[in-house]
Amino acid sequence: GAPQDLAGRSVVVSAGGTREPLDPVRFLGNRSSGKQGYAVARVAAARGAVVRLVSANADLPAPDGVQVTPVETALELQQAMTEAAAGADVVVMAAAVADFRPAVYQDAKIKKSHEPGAEQAPVVELVRNPDILAGLVRDRGEGDRPVIVGFAAETGDATGDVLSLARAKLARKGCDLLVANEVGRSLAFGQDENTVHLLRPDREEARTVGPADKEVVAAALWDEVVNLLATPPTP
Ligand code: PMT
């Protein structure tokens, strides 16, 4: 059986991808299936933790012994995470959160115009969603609990490779562990396997895991968290 090194710990995990509705039938979404976050929740439960899983639009069965809270939007996810994080030992943000949502929700289905010459497409105005992870770090204040784990979905671009973008994100978000995965249309999202770099502010080198099953990635994440929970707080 799995080591019971999370016995008695209370952990909260987010998984899946938020949907930001435009009208009753349309939304802005992303390619997250929830597989990685569900694996994180499943492995924590197997290692003895009391697990709460906040699930955004994932079409997956609830892991054994895990309490699942379904949400749709980033704002709903923020509320569920903020409530659940109070008193938790560990929070893991594996969900893919929309950074923007439509500024207005249309109560009726948006229609195309049939006027002759009215070829114009509608313009959708977006507004910023809150950064949930940064908010959890802020709410923690000077304390050291919960331990906060973020993910970073990077494609690499002109401004940097996956690892250097992830390092900058770790510094910006202020979490204790950042799990950086390279993503793309056929990378990470929806797949059974993942390759990640585990980054900590107190460690120079990244630890790379994979390509490996998402359960293996989840186990490596929890190994780091067990180590962080055992590390005495810096005075
Ligand atoms: O679900 P799967 O198909 O298995 O795919 C897994 C995954 C690729 C979705 C997952 O491993 C992953 O990378 N999840 C995080 C995706 C993401 O939103 O990354 P980001 O780099 O945009 O955000 C960085 C961190 O901030 C994440 O922990 C994210 O949850 C959090 N965030 C982002 C935006 C926002 N408004 N609020 C947040 O809290």
- Residue 158 is predicted with a pLDDT of 81
ipTM above 0.95, yes or no: yes
- Residue 234 is predicted with a pLDDT of 58
- Residue 116 is predicted with a pLDDT of 74
What does the alpha-carbon distance between residue 111 and residue 62 come to, in Å, rounded to a whole number? 37
Residue owning tokens 């289905």: 109
In the reported structure, the alpha carbon of residue 116 is separated from the centroid of ligand 1 by a whole-number distance in angstroms of: 44
Residue range 100-105: average pLDDT? 97
> pLDDT over 90 for what percent of the chain?
84
Supply the residue whose CA is at minimum distance from atom 34 of ligand 1: 97
Residue range 212-220: average pLDDT? 98
Residue range 126-143: average pLDDT? 96
What does the alpha-carbon distance between residue 110 and residue 220 come to, in Å, rounded to a whole number? 46
- Nearest one of 5, 26, 10, 25 to 147, comparing CA atoms: 10
- Nearest one of 67, 66, 53 to 15, comparing CA atoms: 53
User: Cβ neighbours of residue 147 under 8 Å, at least 6 residues apart?
Assistant: 89, 90, 91, 176, 177, 225, 228, 229
Residue 117: band (very low, low, confident or very high) from pLDDT cuts 50, 70, 90: low
The answer to whether 214 is a known ligand-binding residue is no
Residues 166-204, buried b or exposed e (16+ Cβ, 10 A)? bbebbeebebbbbbbbbbeeebbbebeebbbbbbbeeee
Q: Taking all residues of the chain, what is their mean pLDDT, rounded to a whole number?
A: 94
Query: Residue 235: is its pLDDT beyond 60?
Result: no
- Residue 98 is predicted with a pLDDT of 98
As a whole number of Å, the end-to-end CA separation of the chain is 37
The answer to whether 177 is a known ligand-binding residue is no
How does pLDDT run across 151-208, given as a tens digit for each residue? Answer: 999 987 888 788 999 999 999 999 999 999 988 888 899 999 999 999 999 999 999 9
Residue range 135-164: average pLDDT? 91
Q: Is the CB of 148 under 6 A from ligand 1?
A: no
Is the distance from CB of 149 to CB of 176 less than 8 angstroms? yes
In the reported structure, the alpha carbon of residue 221 is separated from the centroid of ligand 1 by a whole-number distance in angstroms of: 15
The ligand 1 atom at the shortest distance from the C-alpha of residue 99 is 36
- Residue 122 is predicted with a pLDDT of 86
- Residue 177 is predicted with a pLDDT of 98
> pLDDT over 70 for what percent of the chain?
97
Our measurement of the distance from residue 105's CA atom to the centroid of its chain's CA atoms, rounded to an integer in Å, reads 25
Is the distance from CB of 16 to CB of 195 less than 8 angstroms? no
User: pTM to 2 decimals?
Assistant: 0.96
How does pLDDT run across 27-82, given as a tens digit for each residue? Answer: 999 999 999 999 999 999 999 999 999 999 999 999 999 999 999 999 999 999 99
Residues taking part in catalysis: 30
Is the distance from CB of 9 to CB of 225 less than 8 angstroms? no
- Residue 233 is predicted with a pLDDT of 58
Q: Is the CB of 165 under 6 A from ligand 1?
A: no
- Nearest one of 233, 234, 224, 231 to 199, comparing CA atoms: 224
Burial of 64 (0-12, 13-18, 19+ CB in 10 A): exposed
Q: Is the CB of 150 under 6 A from ligand 1?
A: yes
What does the alpha-carbon distance between residue 189 and residue 74 come to, in Å, rounded to a whole number? 18
